[in-house]
Amino acid sequence: MSAVGEVINWLQTTQLSTTIRESDWLFPAIECVHVIAFVTVVGSISVVDLRLMGLASKGRRIDETIESLLPITWIAFAIAAVAGLLLFVSKPITYTQNFFFLGKMLLLLFAAANMGAFHLFVHRSLAGVPAEAPSPLAARASGAASLALWIAIVAFGRWIGFTTLG
Amino acid sequence: MLEAFTAWLGKTPLSAFVAGQDWVVPTVQTVHILAISVVVAAVVILHLRVLGVIEQNQPIGVLARRFVAPSAVAIGVLALTGLLMIAGEPNRALFRYVFWIKMALLALALALSGAMLRGLRGNAAWVDAAAPPPPLYKGLAAGLLLVWVAIIVAGRWIGYAEGWPGSPS
């Protein structure tokens, strides 16, 4: 067995995994925390994406829109990630064999790469640009890619629940 | 009466469509969650602004103009996708206490949000970012954030709850 496979098998035998798996209420309770946190992530990112695309919040500068919402996005993301990790730990063997779980992780990597590229190559050029100025093509493309990726991440996440029953 | 309604609903073509294909329910739920994201973003941004946590250089009225209309549209989408979920499985939600608790909390949230917006519109904080909203509105904002959390928890719990005694299965 591969090293990763051994870690996954071991993870499933841990006390934490067993406790969450065998409890009637822990999984749904953690799921609630995960949902509340990730809808906050997706909602706040969408505001930025739609501003980048020039479709909403047009009265507000792009750099200010990002700056004002980024702390909310990051705090919510940290909570969603911890809650998501706990959900994963409860059934690691099931999830690592699930197409939608693996797909969601890949899409999250794409979203992170898109965000990294935006901050490296686009963000600085937007500093101080007045709200009336049209959104640059690179900013529009980055916003559109981000919005599409996050919608797909939500869809894949919802499909995990339908394909890992029992 | 509720049983007669769900029995009728279960025989409609809409019910057959939602229940008939594997992809319909997860798709409807995905749209439901995306619409929740829109409402939650608006709720978090507006209420944290009223509490003085974020966007302190923006008048409340400016933020309300950006976020109230999209949330109203999203709530329409939520009602529609919620109805589709009920149509697909009429005996699931309607006979669970937690569904009606969610609806009551939702009515409370919408009524309080409307009252809060109307009240703030007549306040200096609506147009002047430097004017702090009165403590009453800060209390309302904090309370409403908790009510929305409770609505989401109740919504997720519909999927885990049992029907009440004597309900059709």
Q: What's the mean pLDDT in B9-23?
A: 94
pLDDT value at residue B58: 94
- From chain B, the residues in CB contact with A46 under 8 A are 37-38, 41
Does residue A89 sit in helix, strand or coil? helix
Q: What is the pLDDT of residues B156-167, one digit of tens each?
A: 999 999 999 988
| pLDDT band per the 50, 70, 90 thresholds, residue B139 | very high
pLDDT value at residue B70: 96
DSSP A53: T
pLDDT value at residue B1: 86
Phi, psi of A97 (to 5 degrees): -100, 5
The alpha carbon of residue B153 and the mean position of all alpha carbons in its chain are separated, in whole angstroms, by: 11
Q: Which two tokens stand for residue B20?
A: 């008939």
Rounded Cα distance between B13 and B16, Å, is 5
Question: CA of A111 to nearest chain B CA: how many angstroms apart?
Answer: 17
| pLDDT band per the 50, 70, 90 thresholds, residue B168 | confident
Map tokens 């029995």 to a residue: B7
First-to-last alpha carbon distance for chain A, in angstroms, is: 25
Rounded Cα distance between A35 and B110, Å, is 21
B53-82 burial: b if 16+ Cβ within 10 Å, else e? ebbeebbbbbbbebbeebbeebbebbeebb
Indicate yes or no: CB of B30 within 8 angstroms of CB of A72. Answer: no
- Measured from the Cβ of residue B132, the count of other Cβ atoms closer than 10 Å reads 15
* Check: complex ipTM more than 0.85: yes
Rounded Cα distance between B64 and A70, Å, is 19
How many angstroms separate the Cα of B166 from the Cα of each of B2, B11, B116, B160?
12, 21, 40, 18
Map tokens 């409340």 to a residue: B60
Q: Which two tokens stand for residue A20?
A: 């969450």
pLDDT at B100 over 90: yes
- From chain B, the residues in CB contact with A40 under 8 A are 37, 40-41, 44
> What pTM, to 2 d.p., does this model score?
0.95
Question: CA of A117 to nearest chain B CA: how many angstroms apart?
Answer: 24
CB pairs < 8 Å spanning A and B: 78
Phi, psi of A59 (to 5 degrees): -80, -5
Average pLDDT for chain A: 95
- B146 neighbors B109 (Cβ within 8 angstroms): no
Indicate yes or no: CB of A158 within 8 angstroms of CB of B29. Answer: yes
Indicate yes or no: CB of B36 within 8 angstroms of CB of A39. Answer: yes
Map tokens 């908790």 to a residue: B146
Question: CA of B74 to nearest chain A CA: how many angstroms apart?
Answer: 12
Rounded Cα distance between A67 and A61, Å, is 10
- A49 neighbors B166 (Cβ within 8 angstroms): no
Q: Which chain A residues touch B if contact means CB-CB below 8 Å?
A: 28, 31-32, 35-36, 39-40, 42-44, 46-47, 56-57, 59-60, 68-69, 71-72, 151, 154-155, 158-159, 161-162
- Measured from the Cβ of residue B146, the count of other Cβ atoms closer than 10 Å reads 10
Q: Which residues contact A145 (CB under 8 A, 6 or more apart)?
A: A114
- Measured from the Cβ of residue A154, the count of other Cβ atoms closer than 10 Å reads 23
Q: Write down how long chain B is.
A: 169
Indicate yes or no: CB of A155 within 8 angstroms of CB of B27. Answer: yes
- From chain A, the residues in CB contact with B96 under 8 A are none
pLDDT value at residue B167: 87
- From chain B, the residues in CB contact with A56 under 8 A are 66, 70
Question: CA of B44 to nearest chain A CA: how many angstroms apart?
Answer: 8
Binning chain A into helix, strand and coil, the percentages to the nearest 5 are 80, 0, 20
Phi, psi of A15 (to 5 degrees): -60, -40
Rounded Cα distance between A139 and A115, Å, is 11
Q: Which residue among B34, B66, B156 sits closest to A31, beta carbon to beta carbon?
A: B156
pLDDT at A166 over 60: no
- From chain B, the residues in CB contact with A36 under 8 A are 40, 149, 152-153
Give the sign of the dihedral formed by CA B59, CA B69, CA B98, CA A32. Answer: negative
Rounded Cα distance between B3 and B7, Å, is 6
